[in-house]
Amino acid sequence: MDEDFKTQALESALPSPSETLLSIRLLDFKTSLLEAIEELRIRRETENNYEDQINKIVIEKQELEWQKEALQHQTDTLQQQNKEAMAAFKKQVTK
């Protein structure tokens, strides 16, 4: 009789196989959900980093274009001054 009582107490303390299977499935679902959330977090961080890098590159490109325009203007001015100086020199030489 003592053994029957111990067996019943042990059986009532242990979950049934269906409860165990449900717990395993629930744990598997939670693990998959956490993995998916972590992947989304990593993807979001990566996208933000890419956006920051793209913005920096766009700003750098714009600054380089401005520098190019300034240098082109400087080159044009120097060429014009060179033409004027050569014309003045030719006038002096031909006199």
Residues 2 and 82: their CA atoms lie apart, in Å, by 116
What are the pLDDT digits (tens) for 12-46?
666 787 888 999 999 999 999 999 999 999 999 99
Threshold 0.85, pTM exceeds: no
Looking at the chain, how many residues does it have? 95
What are the pLDDT digits (tens) for 48-65?
999 999 999 999 999 999
Confidence of residue 10 (pLDDT cuts 50, 70, 90): low
Domain residue extents for the chain: 16-94
How distant, in Å, are the alpha carbons of 9, 10, 27, 53 from that of 1?
12, 14, 38, 76
